[in-house]
Amino acid sequence: MKNRPRLMIAAVRSGSGKTSIATGLMGALVRRGYRVQGFKVGPDFIDPSYHTAVTGRWSRNLDTWLLSYSRVREFFWKAVQDADLAVIEGVMGLFDGLRRVPDSAGAGERASSAEIAKLLGCPVVLVLDVHAQARSAVVEYLGCRALDRDLLLAGVILNRVQGPRHLEMLLDAFRAIDIPVLGAIQAGSLPRLTERHLGLVPVPEQRRPDDVLAGLSEAVGRQVDLDAVLRVAESAPSRFRSVLKDRFENGRMRLRLGGGGRKTFRQQASGRVRIAYAWDEAFNFYYRDGLALLEEMGLEPVPFSPLRDRALPPETRGVLIGGGFPELFAERLSANDGMKESLRSAHARGMPIYAECGGFMYLCESLRDLEGRDHPMVGLVPGSCRMERRLVGMGYVTATALSDNILCRAGQSLRGHEFHYSTFTPQCEGFSWAFSFLKGERDAGLNGYASGNLLASYLHYHFASSPRAAARFAAACRAYDIRKF
C-alpha cells in the first residue's frame, strides 16, 4: 500500500479554532492544486461538512468507539489512495477521550485525537489559542510532549495573535526551544463560522457557504506556511508500528472492502436494491463509510428530500432518515403532506424504514417547537417530541435491542452516540421501546421505537460498526424487494 502524506490539526482544548484552521488549511492546499482528503476524529457530522465543501471529497470520520482499530486504519487508507495528502481535524483536547472503557488501550485515551494519531502514525500540529499568553503558551506544547512520547508532535499554529509585538514575543519563546511555528493567525482575521445550539451550522443548510469558505481558505493560506505544512505531512513514516493493540473486535465479523481471497459483500449480493436516504437542509447526518458499506452489500442509496419531494423515489425498497434539524424546518416538513403519506404508505406495505435522531423526531406524531407550537409529523411512531432549551442527551451509548428489529436481534447491542435537545413522550400503553441505553456503566433509560420493519431512535449508528447489523438491514430490504415486486 502506497504511503500518503498526512497530518493532524489538534488542540489542547475545544474552542481553540481548530475547525476553522483545519478547514481553511484544506481549502488553501486545494487552491494550490492538491487533492486533499479530509477526516474528523470522533462522531461529529457537522465539521466534516465543511471539509467536504472545500475539498470536493467526502470527509470521513475516524472513531475508535464506533469502529475497531483495524477498521479505522482500513477506511483511512482506502480513502487516501487517490489523494495527495490527508488532513485530519482532531476532537476536543488532544488527549480527551473516554474515561472508563474496559477495552481501552490507555486510561481515558479511547476515541481521542492522540489515539488516532498514534494509530495512523500521523504527525500532529497543535493549534494554540494565544490571545492571553506569550511565553506560557510554550508550556502547553511541552506538556503534550511530556505526557505521551509516542506522539509525533511536529509544530504549532498560533491563533488569535494580538499584533506584531505579541507575535515577536511568541516566536522568541518557541524558537528558543526549537519548536517549529508553522503559522500565526491574527486575531479577527478569519471569517466567523455561524453557530447555534448544536454547534456550527451544517454546510448543506447554508445559502452562500462558498463566500465564507473562500475567505477562510484565503486567510489561512496567507498566514500559514503551506510549504512547511507539506513538509510535516511528508514526514509521516511510510512504515510504522502502531503502539496500540486492537482490543475491540469482540468476535465481530471483519469487514473487507475488495481484494484478497474472500468475497466482498457486493460479490455476494445479486442485483441492486434501491434505498432512499433523506438529504436536504433538514436531514444530512450520515457516515460516508457506512453508506459505502451498504453499497458493498448490494444496496443503491439514492437521495430524497422530505422538504421538497412529494413522494419517495421510484422503486424504493428501503428508507434511511438520518439526523439533522427538523425542528428548524418543522412547518415545512409538516406541510408536505405528500411525503408524509408516501412514508405512511411505504410502512403499511412493510418497507424497511430506519430513522435516527432528527429522523426519529420526524416520524413521530408531532413535534413541539420552543415557542410551544405543535407541528403534525408523519405519525409512524406513536408519541411526540418536544424541543428543550437545554441539552438532553449527549455522548457515546451502547444500545441493547429489546426485541428483534431490522438491525439486530433481541439482546444484541450496537455502539453509537446521541446528541439532542428534544425529549420524547410515548402516547400509548404498551409502547414498543426499541433499545435500552447504557452510557459507560450507567443506565440511560429506554429509547426509540421498533415495530415490524420500522426502527427509529435517538441513536446515531455507524453501519460499519457492526457489518452484521448492516447485512441484516440489507437483507430486510432485499426480502421486501422479493416479496413485493
Give the integer Cα–Cα distance in Å for 206 and 190: 18
Contact 61, 46 (CB under 8 A): no
* Residue 411 CB-density burial (10 A; 0-12 exposed, 13-18 middle, 19+ buried): exposed
Q: Element (H or E) spanning 7, and its range?
A: strand 6-11
Residue 58 sits at φ, ψ, to 5 deg, of -55, 125
Buried b / exposed e across 220-246, counting CB within 10 Å, b at 16+? Answer: bbebbbbebbbbbbeebeeeeeeebeb
Given a contact cutoff of 8 angstroms between Cβ atoms, the answer to whether 364 and 385 are in contact is yes
Residue 475 in 3-state DSSP? helix
Q: Grid coordinates in use for 264?
A: 466482498
C-alpha angle 430/397/475, rounded to 5°?
70
What residues are annotated to the active site?
357
Q: What residues does 128 pair with on adjacent strands?
A: 158
CB 407 within 8 A of CB 473: yes
Question: In angstroms, rounded to a whole number, what is the distance separating the alpha carbons of residues 358 and 377?
Answer: 12
* Interatomic CA distance for residues 111 and 93, integer angstroms: 11
**Residues 6 or more apart in contact with residue 401 via CB below 8 angstroms:** 407, 408, 409, 410, 411, 412, 413, 414, 434, 435, 450
Burial, 317: exposed, middle or buried (Cβ in 10 Å; 0-12, 13-18, 19+)?
buried
- Residue 386 phi/psi, 5-degree rounding, is -135, 130
C-alpha 19: how far from chain center: 13
Burial of residue 188, with CB atoms counted within 10 A of its CB: 0-12 exposed, 13-18 middle, 19 or more buried: exposed
Residue 125, strand partner residues: 9, 155
What DSSP string describes 122-134? Answer: --EEEEEE-TT-S
